[in-house]
A and B are shown apart, each in its own frame.
Chain A
Amino acid sequence: MSDISIASTKSPEATHPNTGSARDFFELLKPRVMSLVVFTGLVGIVVAPGSIHPVIGFAALLCIAVGAGASGALNMWYDADIDARMARTTSRPIPQGRVNAGEALGFGATLSVASVVAMGLFVNYTAAALLAITIGFYIFVYTMWLKRRTPQNIVIGGAAGAFPPMIGWAAVTGSVSLESIVLFLIIFMWTPPHFWALALYRRGDYEEVNVPMLPVVAGKRETRKQILIYSLLLVPVTLAPVALGFAGAIYGGSAIVLGLVFLTLAWQVWLTGEAGDEDKSDARAKRLFGFSIFYLFMLFALLLVEQVAGLFVPVALI
């Protein structure tokens, strides 16, 4: 084959110079997911005992944000094939051809390494190790291994999204403790009902691309049952910070009320499904999905406010 013929068989992308604006690359970082990750990381920093210099705290948060964003970019690189076929993700930069897959890979890999190294040098090695585990878990365990193989994908993979408050805590204390594990567990237990609610009304999307989400593999009824079970397990876990003494009465009372609302919505998803009203049940699932984001945000916001505003009122447990 001659050099000329090699050139002529190149894909348009191969001869295309670098693509994408800064905004496209920013979109690769999944900014909306990143904002929740940064927020929970911030709460980990604020709630942890001891103190951290504001500059170091800011550096820790930046590393968490960049690491989370890098994971998002790598996820978009790996999942570009299925993203292109799902309504929810088809407008992402790679399926739209605004960013080349190779560029997304380079971008994500560079930022991943940079965020971990920076965390190690600026903050401490425990936080850096946890950040590395988070990125590795999200990419290798969730995206590459579990997502397309098992309906337990988001149960196990959810751990990746649960690490940030633990990283924040480790940034201050340099260690992992029971309290930070509880913060991890809140997000870990919250993830399945959150994602399965989405998967219920987006089931067709996942079916189309052969991603074995629970509603696709086990059916909607089983998914509604699992949502209810996980919701029942989640609410007591959200009260553990009160039991361990790092959350006060305001958090405790609010967590009970919010938890009851969460359970009611999960129960409604189950009931409408049992009544055979699929459309109504999907609408309830959509409502549960929306509320679940508010719920997690509020729980962590309350932990934050109690500490920052000096509203911490210890709860005396019998």
Chain B
Amino acid sequence: MDESKRYEIERPEWTEEMLKERRSRSKAMAWALIGFMVLVFAVTLVKLGANVMNRPL
């Protein structure tokens, strides 16, 4: 066997359509993470209530 070919990595070929799908997934993931962040923030405020300010400044 030709040693130079032994460690050749088979790379996926990204077509334009696949790139488009990847972008749509990435955007959806970004929005989901932003939404989750906002939710955690809002729930934290609700749970802590007025105590949210009760910390050493």
Contacts and interface: CB of A to CB of B under 8 A. Distances in A.
Interface in B16-38: 18, 20-22, 24-25, 27-28
Contacts of A23: 24
Contacts of B56: none
Given A20-B21, A22-B27, A2 B6 contact: yes
Nearest to B15: A17
A17 B18 contact: yes
Contacts of B14: 17
A169 to B, nearest CB: 20
A55 B42 contact: yes
Nearest to B40: A122
Interface of A: 2-4, 7, 10, 15-26, 53, 55-56, 59, 62, 122
A1 to B, nearest CB: 11
Main secondary structure of the interface of B (DSSP, over half): helix
Given A56-B43, A56-B46, 10 more contacts: A3-B7, A4-B1, A10-B10, A19-B18, A22-B24, A23-B24, A26-B28, A55-B43, A55-B46, A59-B43
B33 to A, nearest CB: 12
A128 to B, nearest CB: 14
21 contacts: A2-B6, A4-B6, A4-B8, A7-B10, A15-B12, A16-B12, A17-B22, A18-B25, A19-B18, A20-B25, A21-B20, A21-B25, A22-B25, A22-B28, A23-B24, A25-B25, A26-B28, A55-B43, A55-B45, A56-B43, A122-B39
